[in-house]
Amino acid sequence: MDAAGLDCLGRFAVGSGPPVRIVLFVLLALIPPTFIGWKVWQGYRPPAVVPAANPRPSGAEADRALQALFAGDLAGAKVKDKVGLYDEKGLFDYIDGAAPIFIERHFRKLAAAEMVSAEGSDLVCDVYDMADPANSQSIFDKEKSAAAKPVADFPDAISGPMSFVFRSSRYYVKLTAFDGKAEAALPGLAKALKGKMK
């Protein structure tokens, strides 16, 4: 063994080499500068700038647009009394336990009305303003029942017994009939509403 602590094969003799702690410390100390050097060599690219989302409509403007959906021709259906508007607090009163799944998806307001079909049958129309098309898609997907059937020639629409549900733009719509005549009127009402949604 020579003065450096090496044996005849050039290996450190037991107890004469640098402690394992020092070797690990040196290796760990080299990792950050190596990573930084690699990033510099690769070239720094700032994070991509995400374009600003479309501005959310103001409360009064959006409320007028929501109420306007119930005006004019709705395939013969008419509002019985008035269109009620519900904010987050009112939503809990209107749909009770289901409110959180709407609020989590940035629900803005609900317009709800009892209506009568052209044949005189009762139905209910609930139009949820979800503030953004992605939110209306999210709630449509969340509430979609396995028993519901897709509607031919009406994308993003499903129907079930006495019900018709669809989404269009930022709106999510639930139509509920109380008899067979009203149920037959739901597709026409849905198409009329969808035609007004921008």
Q: Does pTM surpass 0.75?
A: no
At 128, list the tokens.
């949820």
Check residue 52 and give its pLDDT. 43
Among candidate residues 68, 180, 63, 192, the one with its CA nearest the CA of residue 123: 180
Does the structure show a pLDDT above 80 at 25? no
* Cβ count near 50 (within 10 Å): 6
Q: How far is CA 52 from CA 55, 59, 83, 131, 141, in A?
A: 8, 20, 33, 15, 25
Among candidate residues 126, 124, 111, 188, the one with its CA nearest the CA of residue 162: 124
Task: Output Rg (C-alpha) for the chain, integer angstroms.
Answer: 32
Check residue 22 and give its pLDDT. 77
* Domains of the chain, residue spans: 1-49, 59-196
Task: List the CATH code of the domain at 59-196.
Answer: 3.40.1000
The overall average pLDDT reported for the chain is 84
84-103 pLDDT tens trace: 999 999 999 999 889 999 99
d(Cα 23, Cα 28) in Å, to the nearest integer? 9
Ranges 14-18, 56-60, 127-131: which has the least confidence:
14-18
